[in-house]
Structure 1
């Protein structure tokens, strides 16, 4: 078959078992549950040859001004035919006037550059078997989130991300456990969400005012995971790399953070120290 026999259509819930097969072939450790979580929050495109799924791409809209894209996969037998470009172009068309943010592998860099994306940093993947972490000075002000904390947590996240991510945070509240750093008045000053993902657990997003407070939140989130596999995706300039490696989470990969359009305006009050995932941001 030629590329004209390959159709682009919406990625449906019934496609996700095949989608997991595509990510398995790349060595990406997504569980079916991870696909379901991501698909439920975004909009997906599928490449199909007859009834067979041969490619995927996802976009997550954060309000009227921003979106992220990711989970862009083309079956190895069909690569080199411009099919990845078809997926990316479809995702960008659906984004409208939104600025679009992504984390690019080396293989995708030129494709994104030709579409107006520019680099603004690196995202580092840290993972490994979690080691015990000594308590920090901030540990006495960190505990697990209560239901009543989530509105304040969502508000803090918007300040740090510069875009509305309520749906993402509400979904994380349903599948993860949040560690919260409190101020002297008891208000939420930072948070870290830990959830099952891939080969074990992922800690992210992590929002805090400084790297030491972010490290204390990650330590609390990992406190029940000593000896288990943990992953953290963090901006290279977070200042957390050495600390993560000292506690068993080695840097195993980097991706180029890119944007087409403008980056969100963020506050000095708090910033993102770890991502929910490289696709969702």
Structure 2
């Protein structure tokens, strides 16, 4: 059993593992994750039996995720081997991840502590979502990218320009303007069973809702997923639109948690692994 760098040739095997776990990833979702991050695989007799990925945000932060070990190989320390390889690759950065109930014990043993809860909402959008004119929301242009990247950094407390640019490149982006400047953005893109809305960063709860509504208004009769922080209180509102909560996960950190700047806040995630 060999631990090695994840390469393009491993992605079909990685997809098979995620299907075994019941995750709705497509091959395109794996390809995107590998393009913006880096990963490790455990390979045995030419077969991928485990994966783990990381995404580096500047000199101080990293996110870990997509940690999977096939059923027959579980319980033999393979998950720990992959995870420790990721921690070593993070090179002393503060590390973030989102954990299922099954992973909590492992992560706590590695020094991670919980700081929040992520709620997964999804469903077929049969509710007709409309938006009123004059809400300040418009389609983004390429000239907005630098302002969007700067807002994302204020909202997350981490420099993620490459990630944001890659997400904007594959998705549709809307922004909200306040006093002549961009005060929020949201990206919708193909993912899993349909579409995911996220990231969504804004300077107020109201603008976050307006941005999400603007994206939902284009996705009638599509399967939509949104991952939000429970502390923001958007869950009941999303359920009223037909997007039911189907699971929850624990946001964790090893080291120092990033701090947002001013009123900027991240309301919806691009992916629980990317954080």
Provide the TM-score with structure 2 as the length reference.
0.97
> In 2, distance between residues paired with 1:173 and 1:140?
22
Equivalence for 2:15: 20
Equivalenced residues, count: 274
1:194 matched residue in structure 2? 188
1:179–1:191 Cα contact (<8 Å) kept:
yes
User: SS of the residue aligned with 2:248?
Assistant: strand
Q: Which runs of 5+ in 1 are unaligned?
A: 1-5
For the residues of structure 2 that align with 1:257 and 1:265, how far apart are their CA atoms? 14
Quote how far apart the aligned CAs of 1:139 are. 5.5
Please report the TM-score for the alignment, with normalisation by the length of structure 1. 0.95
Q: Supply the distance in 2 between the matched residues of 1:146 and 1:105 (Cα, whole angstroms).
A: 37
Distance 1:147 1:23 in 2: 34
Alignment of 1:123-272 (within 5 A): 123-130=118-125, 131-135=127-131, 140-185=135-180, 187-272=181-266
Instruction: Quote the residue 1:107 is aligned against.
Output: 102
TM-fit CA distance, 1:140: 2.5
SS of the equivalent of 1:280 reads coil
How far off is 1:160 after superposition? 0.6
Contact 2:131 2:217 in 1 (8 A): no
Say if 1:139 and 1:216, in contact at 8 Å, map to a contact too: no
Match of 1:3 in 2: none
- Give SS of 1:87's match: helix
Distance 1:123 1:193 in 2: 18
> Match for residue 39 of structure 1?
34
Superposition deviation, residue 134 in structure 1? 4.1
What is the DSSP-based 3-state SS (H/G/I as helix, E as strand, rest coil) of the residue aligned with 1:21? helix
Uncovered stretches (5+) of structure 2, i.e. residues with no partner: none
Runs of 4+ in 1 over 6 A off after TM superposition: none
Q: Quick one: distance in 1 between partners of 2:233 and 2:174?
A: 20
Distance 1:203 1:169 in 2: 13
Q: Distance between the aligned counterparts of 1:132 and 1:210, measured in 2?
A: 24
The whole-number CA distance in structure 2 between the counterparts of 1:254 and 1:268 is 27
